[in-house]
Structure 1
Amino acid sequence: MPKDKNLINKLMGTQTITEDDDAELGAISDEAEEKDQAPTASSEDWLSEYEGQLTIDMFQTKDNVIIKSTIAGVRPEDIDVTIANDMVTIRGERKRDFEASSEDYFYQECYWGSFSRSVVLPVDVDIEQVSADLKDGILTVILPKAAKAKAKKVKVGTRV
């Protein structure tokens, strides 16, 4: 029970914190600060191995499945849209058009490098009619829904 009383005293500030306690709190604080820091130019090595994940909106109309994504700073020829089976994949690369040393940065939050996103299509699409365009930094992929197979009623007969 003395330990509980000791803890209560520490929390209430009625007991002096020892050097060991202070060192432990300092280590916890340092670890929290390290985890809270955003990547900087000095951490570019691990960023070059990382492939960014593209954010998308995917919705449907009566006739189409539509995918929209913000892809600012990327040229259309640097974007690849592939459809295989029931999956659509969008790949690209945002290329840096400037040089800056890590010491020159105040903030470095933009992602530069390869990115991709693959999603399963919720319905069958007509891959021959798919279109994609990039306007004002917004990629729009239009995937026309496949014509549904017409139902045919089969009459059941009897055998003699």
Structure 2
Amino acid sequence: MELTMNDLARLDDFFPEFFRRFARTVPTSLAADMPAEIKVDVTENDKDYHVRASIPGAKKDDIRVSVDGNYVSISAEVRKEKEEKSGRSLLKETYYGSASRGFSLAHEIDDKAVVAKLEDGVLKLTLPKRDGAGSRVIAIQ
């Protein structure tokens, strides 16, 4: 099939209109409340790692942190509800979604000594390094 210039011009007219129509189907107030990816800052000292993960809108019971060796996984489920009452009508917009993040660290983590706190949408983790789990130089014989 060969496209002529007239066919290309019609496609060019169609696509902007298609995207405008699609954009109207997503409520902007709802789209703004959707969870973004979890943003993570990781720092380290000799004894442990410190993680700050931004998870706006998540509650303590909706966050799951798991540690497997040197791999850390954070997941959260976020539920947003907006309710407006006006006379006899009722409008309720609900969003339910999840976000997750995982990363590997250079040392294995002592999973029994991990401390996790949630403050103002920021998850703070203290991940102690496991004793003896660091790298070691091997002598070649």
1:86, CA displacement in angstroms? 2.7
Structure 2: gaps (5+ residues): 85-90, 137-141
Matches within 5 A, 1:5-154: 20-28=4-12, 30-31=14-15, 34=18, 40-41=26-27, 53-99=37-83, 112-148=96-132
* % identical equivalent positions: 25
> What is the distance in 2 between the residues matched to 1:56 and 1:94?
17
Instruction: Give the structure 2 partner of residue 156 of structure 1.
Output: none
Relative to the length of structure 1, the TM-score reads 0.57
Query: Which SS does the other structure have where 1:116 is aligned?
Result: strand
Relative to the length of structure 2, the TM-score reads 0.64
Deviations along 1:1-55, whole A, 9 cap, x unmatched? xxxxxxxxxxxxxxxxxxx5244134135436656976824xx9xx9xxx96422
Query: Which SS does the other structure have where 2:5 is aligned?
Result: helix
> What is the distance in 2 between the residues matched to 1:66 and 1:29?
52
Compute the RMSD of aligned alpha carbons.
3.5
> What is the distance in 2 between the residues matched to 1:94 and 1:87?
23
Instruction: Give the structure 1 partner of residue 139 of structure 2.
Output: none
Structure 1: gaps (5+ residues): 1-19, 105-110, 152-160
Larger radius of gyration: 1
1:134, CA displacement in angstroms? 0.7
Between Structure 1 and Structure 2, which shows a larger proportion of strand residues?
2
Between Structure 1 and Structure 2, which shows a larger proportion of helix residues?
1
> What is the distance in 2 between the residues matched to 1:32 and 1:87?
44
* Kept in 1: contact 2:67–2:111 (CA 8 A): yes
